[in-house]
Amino acid sequence: MRSFLAVLALLVASVVSSAAQGTPYFTTYDHTMEEPGNLELSTQTVIGLQKHDLPTYWAPLVEMEYGLTGWWSTALYLEGASANHDATVFTGYRLENRWKPLKSEHRINPVLYFEFEDIRGASRIQKEIVGFDGAQEERIRDQHGEREREIEGKLILSSNAKGWNIAENLIFEKNLSAFDEPTEFGYSFGVSRPLAMLASGKDCKFCRENFAAGVEMYGGLGDWDRFSLRDAAHYVAPVLAWQLGNSQQLKVSPGFGISSASQRMLLRFGYTYEIHGFGRMVSQMFGGK
């Protein structure tokens, strides 16, 4: 446990000390890819405010994403979970890859997403909602021993028009540790726009062009045995992002549950820093040209 906290502290410190262009979304992916050779470091946290006097929890996430090419980005996630009068634990890692098959900008831009997850049952980050996910009734300490290996895929469709971004994600997830369980499905939809399309010409942090706002809607679609919106959790989440120069971004999103299976709120906030030319710097360090 101490080693995990030490690693997490070092990663967070590296983000803050080295202090990214990006969308305001938390759960929805658009067709924006990481620039080749750039490394994006980010921290995200979700605070789950539950119904029926169930305990509030918080779950931190550290992401390191690297642009391999203009059409291929890869990322590593490390996550944890904590709750009062319960436990604070490391809940696992995720390996993500995204591929953009079309080079130029199109009316609809598809992206293929694949993720391998090695996580614990105590995972609380809820990067996506699938199946009939709902309230977190069990204690974190009781679920920490449950190991789950899963694969997740997404079909990402994204469009830019007159300053607006519209993105749709169809999600499927398969639990490899319990292969007899049916494949689960989910969705995420996002719309966003900068508050101003033209730069004001001023050197300021609070100019309108530095802010982007929008809304996400995400939730479960049941599973292979019962594909349904009913009895699944669904959320509507306003999103707001603040761009701090060319390399840093802050964003926040309160996700309000709109179905009986939903939690009361999933409050998300994050910080991102992008290291431009990271691949070139590493190559030079090891004698490359």
Note the pLDDT tens digit of each residue in 218-270.
Answer: 999 999 999 999 999 999 999 999 999 889 999 999 999 999 999 999 999 99
Please tell me the predicted confidence (pLDDT) of residue 136.
86
Please tell me the predicted confidence (pLDDT) of residue 289.
55
Please tell me the predicted confidence (pLDDT) of residue 34.
95
Please tell me the predicted confidence (pLDDT) of residue 170.
98
How far is residue 123's CA from residue 147's CA, in Å, rounded to a whole number? 10
The segments of the chain whose pLDDT lies below 70 read 1-22, 200-201, 288-289
253 CB-near residues (< 8 Å, 6+ apart): 24, 26, 216, 237, 238, 239, 240, 267, 268, 269
Model confidence pTM above 0.85: yes
202 CB-near residues (< 8 Å, 6+ apart): none
| Start-to-end CA span in the chain (Å) | 41
Domain 2-285 CATH class label: mainly beta
Please tell me the predicted confidence (pLDDT) of residue 15.
36
Please tell me the predicted confidence (pLDDT) of residue 279.
87
